[in-house]
Copies of this chain bind each other. A is one copy, B any other.
Amino acid sequence: MKYYGALEAGGTKMVLAVMDENGNTVRQESIPTKTPAETMPEMIAFFSAYAISSLGIGGFGPLNLDRNAAEYGHIMETPKLPWRHYPLLQAFRDALQVPVGLDTDVNAAALAEARLGAARGKESCLYVTVGTGIGGGVMIHGKPVHGLMHPEIGHISVSPVPEDPMPEGICPYHAHCLEGLASGPSIEKRWGISARELPQGHPARDIESAYLAQLCANAMLTFSPDMIILGGGVMQQKFLLPMIREKTLKLLNGYIAHPAVSEGLEHYIVTPGLDTRSGITGAWLLAMEAEAALY
């Protein structure tokens, strides 16, 4: 049996797992994300207890994913100051002496959904998590998309909904960006209650689904993914998905003549096939790829 390390590195917690070559979890733990000085030794100890063949990391960003850059594998201009410019990939490689694969947390989740989850068998997909923040991972031609940096789809600008009492949103960088208008904290700021407390008929339901429908419609028009997968805490509210589909159809207004659309988007805008395990499963896939890249 071979062991692989998988790390879902989040801004508030780190999910660590050791998995075998079939994806079975041997051990899993969550620890709070403190400073590198505090958290790195804990994580290194966790992985060092097993003879792992490689490590895969799905990390919070922004990340430098340019293999030719001096700062490849570093966390970039994050608001989590102790981690800013931290050489995440190198630190693990030096400590564990194994190949390390790295991508954004959401690209890792998109990878897992495309290989083993809802978008299995598809060449492309968009995975978006709607929670404390909003982030998106993109798979195209069977591979995660980096490009200039990596997708940051949470920060696209959307048109304020006329009924929205807080149409500027709460993003410190951008007026009316998606994250500022549709993240969990934006719901709480606007209404004083959380997404899971919104009663039937509450105007927040319409507003939230309208913003996420703009995301879906614009993503479809921009790069035409084969599937859109919406995960994260806010999407746990089951009323949202059908509302988002309906509003996306209205926005497209018949423009995309494809069966997936005319059938009502039921099999096109979906929740994750791997439930809450997309991210850690993606990290495991990154570990497998990092090992394979050696040969």
Contact = CB atoms under 8 A, between A and B. Distances in A.
Interface residues of A, number: 49
Contact of A219 (B76, B222, B226, B253): B222
A99 interface: no
A151 B255 CA distance: 12
A198 interface: no
A275 interface: no
Contacts of A44: none
Contacts of A77: 254, 257
A174 to B, nearest CB: 6
Interface stretch (A28-36, A49-57, A154-162, A279-287): A154-162
Contact of A223 (B151, B155, B226): B151
Interface string A184-212: 00000000000000000000000000000
Interface string A247-273: 000010111111010000000100000
B224 A255 contact: no
A14 interface: no
Interface stretch (A88-96, A142-150, A229-237): A142-150
